[in-house]
Amino acid sequence: MCAQFTRIRFLGKDLADPILSYLNLPYLKGAPRNISLISKWTRILTQIDAYEKQSPSNSISILEHFLMFDLNQINENMCVDAVLSYDIYEKTGDYFLDRRNKIRRAMIHRCESIARHSSIANYNELAEFFNRYLAGRFPFSKESEFYGTNEANVDDVNTFLVLFNKINESQRKALDGLIDSPNLHSSPSQFLRQIDLLKPILSAALNANADQYVPKVDFAVDFRTDRNQETEGNKIIDWNLQINDNDIDFRDDKRAGQWVVGDPLCVILRWAADGPTSPTLDEHQPNLTISNHTARFSYEGRWSLIRLLKAHAIDYKTYEKGKPTPVTLQFMVPTHYKNAAPDQSSQKTTTAKVFLRFSLFDPTKKTSPATVVEKTKTEADLAPPVMMDKDLLPLPIFPFKAPTIETRVQSQKNKSFMSYP
């Protein structure tokens, strides 16, 4: 730094200053001159004098501090954010400040390159792990694979979340800047956003941690919603949600509870014994059992809550992705008429279609189902309990494949940086 200052001082004091003094002689006032060049060197000399006098805020000291301290404090984790906090295109008219801004511009290009390289490496590690160990295993499977027994391993899910947390905000910004797929829902950025929304419910399905915290999800349930879409719902006389050994009945004032990892779930619908119809089995719904005029939809295991949601949540496309909203569940139960005449074969069977709503909440938030706002019976029939949206979890939509990023090294023929399966 001393050598650089000595050089600029020599250029200014020994070479430029005598020329500027000569040009300021009275008899040369009308002579042609390069005004911008004179102004530039005049400012340089002013800053040299200020630096030697140790005047505060002189531009040479600012440049010196930037090179010796500011640059040394920037690391990979905050590189892009640190540089973006500067106005790198600021036009100051000051030679030394303009040099600082030029270095800043070079820095941001370097930072972006480093962040892009790291983000691609970390993301591809995450995506390849997902596709190898989680894709196709419940709950990261297509609906057609739902009834299989192949479940995601808990250790694999934990490892995946560790890899996911390695991708910091700077690296996410770098990924956002890459060439994206025309289909937003298959981009790496969209995949990461999906996992963001799933983290609370994924964490709830994993083992307790060293502090013996029991993973859980708070929920509220409302029975017989969307009545304008139901069929045969008026034949059902009892609605019940059984979670482990606890029952939530449609007559309860506060229909809320907690799902703890491993708790079995059972939705119970009962028909009147002396009613005209009675539920029957459905070979396409292996989780449906029938006994004593009662239909039971039972789900067990570590992923029991997710199995219930994936089996009965209405078409995901009807939801805005990631928007917190109560989850509407649809239940279809074949029924038969007990006393149908032999010549009324077309009226012997029918299907009951009914709905209930689940509101899922992050248990780490302060607001919980205990803060449910009371409603009248009429209001409660039509809408779920009112809670604060900031605690409401969105409908969990599980990806079944992670898009990967293809680099130029991997494919010279592909002009895009990205490849989507």
User: Would 125 be classed as within a structural domain?
Assistant: yes
Domain termination residue (choose one: 89, 110, 131): 110
Looking at the fold, whether 373 and 248 belong to one and the same domain comes out as yes
pLDDT greater than 90 at residue 130: yes
Looking at the fold, whether 341 and 245 belong to one and the same domain comes out as yes
- Higher-pLDDT residue of 295, 86: 295
CB 119 within 8 A of CB 188: no
Domain termination residue (choose one: 110, 143, 166): 110
Looking at the fold, whether 239 and 131 belong to one and the same domain comes out as no
**Range in 298-307, 376-385, 389-398 the model is least confident about:** 376-385
pTM of the model: 0.63
pLDDT greater than 80 at residue 200: no
Looking at the fold, whether 50 and 84 belong to one and the same domain comes out as yes
- Higher-pLDDT residue of 377, 360: 360
Residue span of the structural domain in which 335 resides: 216-391
User: Would 419 be classed as within a structural domain?
Assistant: no
pLDDT tens for each residue of 385-404 = 444 444 677 777 888 899 88
Looking at the fold, whether 247 and 377 belong to one and the same domain comes out as yes
User: Would 85 be classed as within a structural domain?
Assistant: yes
Q: What is the pLDDT of residue 129?
A: 95
User: Would 171 be classed as within a structural domain?
Assistant: yes
User: Would 211 be classed as within a structural domain?
Assistant: no
CA-nearest of 352, 389, 387 to 373 is 387
What is the number of structural domains in the chain? Answer: 3
Looking at the fold, whether 264 and 166 belong to one and the same domain comes out as no
- Higher-pLDDT residue of 24, 284: 284
User: Would 277 be classed as within a structural domain?
Assistant: yes
Domain termination residue (choose one: 56, 88, 110): 110
Looking at the fold, whether 225 and 324 belong to one and the same domain comes out as yes
User: Would 353 be classed as within a structural domain?
Assistant: yes
CB 245 within 8 A of CB 258: no
Looking at the fold, whether 139 and 88 belong to one and the same domain comes out as no
Looking at the fold, whether 132 and 73 belong to one and the same domain comes out as no
User: Would 404 be classed as within a structural domain?
Assistant: no
Most confident of 73-77, 197-201, 342-346: 197-201
Six token digits for residue 317: 């496309």
pLDDT tens for each residue of 220-257 = 899 999 899 999 999 999 999 998 888 999 988 888 88
Most confident of 84-93, 247-256, 403-412: 247-256
Q: What is the pLDDT of residue 179?
A: 53
Looking at the fold, whether 227 and 266 belong to one and the same domain comes out as yes
